[in-house]
Amino acid sequence: MLHDDDAERLKTQFPGPLSGEERRCLEDLRALLDFVLDNNLSIQLVWDTFGHDYEEVGRAGFDLHKALASGFWPKTRNFSHRGD
């Protein structure tokens, strides 16, 4: 488990803050993980869904806003916000 000193060290390498859209993306990913764990589903669902999103955001230089502006729609979208 990571501790406060780990978080401080990581903040120098990966400074924030997260944008609202980035936070939503991570909340959707967390909801997907919770759904898979709660329902004892295959890890393949996680790899397939997150892998798609990771690849597309990676093509945009890991800039989520740029990826979304190009028409990218995350497969994880709406796992935490149904109907949005």
Per-residue pLDDT of the chain (84 residues; tens, 9 = 90+): 777 788 889 888 988 899 999 999 999 999 999 999 999 999 999 999 999 999 999 999 999 999 999 999 999 888 886 555
Q: Which residues of 62-80 are buried (b: 16+ CB within 10 A; e: fewer)?
A: eebeebbeeebebbbbebb
- The answer to whether the CB of 21 falls within 8 A of the CB of 53 is no
Q: What pLDDT was estimated at residue 1?
A: 77
pLDDT of residue 82: 57
Taking the model in full, what pTM does it have? 0.80
Q: What is the 3-state secondary structure (H, E, C) of 31-71?
A: HHHHHHHHCCCCHHHHHHHHHHHHHHHHHCCCCHHHHHHCC
Structure tokens at 33: 């993980």
